[in-house]
Amino acid sequence: MEGYEPSSLGASHSSLLVTTTWVGMGLVMASLVGFGTMIWAAGQSLVGTGSVDHSPSLFLIIGAIIGFGLLIVGFGLIFSGRKGYKEYVRRSGRTQ
């Protein structure tokens, strides 16, 4: 619609204006690296490593630490970044 400007983007209570929300979303996306490493290591455990001399279980552990660590920190930052919006909802009585 011509002339329409979403008011939520410029609102003082918007979570989109908070840096911790964006950093948290980036960390959640970065956690996919750890989960991908876990999947790769699980595949190496099932199929075998061939002539390469490494332990897939080490990569499985490293992937789990990276994946779950970034996921937990990322969601913590997202929830922290949304606290201003949750306070606004509580203060204004909005349901949606």
**47-73: per-residue pLDDT in tens?**
887 767 788 899 999 999 999 999 999
Q: End-to-end CA distance of the chain, in Å?
A: 22
User: What's the mean pLDDT in 69-94?
Assistant: 89
pLDDT tens, residue by residue, 22-40: 999 999 999 999 999 999 9
Distance CA 52, CA 17 (A): 48
